[in-house]
Structures are given as structure tokens and as C-alpha cells.
Amino acid sequence: MKRVNAILHHPLYRRCYGRLEELERERIFCCHQMTHLLDVARIAYILNMEQDMGLEKEVIYAAAVLHDIGKYAQYEDGTPHEQSGEKIASEILDSLPDDAAFFEEEKRMILTAIRGHRRLRVDAEPLEWLLYISDKASRTCFACPAESECDWSAEKKNMELKI
């Protein structure tokens, strides 16, 4: 997992993630920190195997750990986090050391998946679909103490474990 670890230890990632942690300290609703990011990564990897999608493990994990990295900006100035996240992720992916770099096509897939993770496009790419589904499936609404105050629609909430 050398390439994913290079992302997690990247100075820009640490900075954005640290700010997000501060901003979510008192949050009672879904947070966007490491537990969530790794839940998404692992659900996505399981689905990838179950459905024989053939996506590379580190590409899936990279998309998962980066997908909410722009969330701090959404709290700060309202920028939709799929937009700020794509920008930050692009900067991180373009500045990884040579021995931990992703191929251009992998970077493109990761950025497309981040950009599309909040609304599923009709013609979504495989990684984009996988990230969207796993992100939503990761939320344990059935066990959330703030469920009744949450503005997710009844049909969106996971009141039963599905994946």
C-alpha cells in the first residue's frame, strides 16, 4: 500500500485532513474522517471482488481516502466538496514521489470518481459507481443517535444493513 500511504502522509493531505477534524469536532451527524474513509475503501474493495470488477486495490483506496478531502472547504466557504476535493486530490496525486506515483489513467479515474461521488451519473465509470455506492452504504443510520434529526430522506437512510 505504498502509494496510498504516500497520500495519507502527504503534507497537503495532512493539512486539509487536520482542518476537517477541527471543524467536525462537535458534529453529531456523519463525519468524513478516517473511519468513514476506510469503511468506504473496504466496502468498495469487497464489492470490487464480489462483482469481479477488476479494479486495482490501491486505486480504490486512493479514491476512498481522497473523496472527502475537500469537505473542510465546504464548511468554510460553501464550495461543494466534490469540486474542492477534486482539485486538492489532483494536486496531491501530481506531487507524489516517483516511486509512489499513480499512472495518468489511474489519476484520471480517481479524479472522475471524486467529482461524481455525490450524484450518480447515468453513464458513471466503474470506479465512480463503486465510490458512490460504497460511500452511501458506509453510513450506519440504523445505529446513529442523530438519525431522527438528520435531513437525509427516508429512502436514502440505511435503516438496514445491506452491504
Considering only the stretches 2-10, 67-75, 92-100, 150-158, report the one whose residues sit in contact with Fe ion under the rule CB under 5 A.
67-75
For residues 3 and 100, the answer to whether their CB atoms sit within 8 Å is: yes
Closest CA to 80 of 91, 67, 64: 67
Report, in Å, the least distance between residue 97 CB and Fe ion: 27
Report, in Å, the least distance between residue 155 CB and Fe ion: 18
- Residue 87 amino acid letter: K
For residues 113 and 125, the answer to whether their CB atoms sit within 8 Å is: yes
- Residue 97 amino acid letter: P
Binding mask 120-149 for Fe ion (x = CB under 5 A): ---------------x--------------
Report, in Å, the least distance between residue 43 CB and Fe ion: 11
Residues that bind Fe ion (CB under 5 A): 68, 135
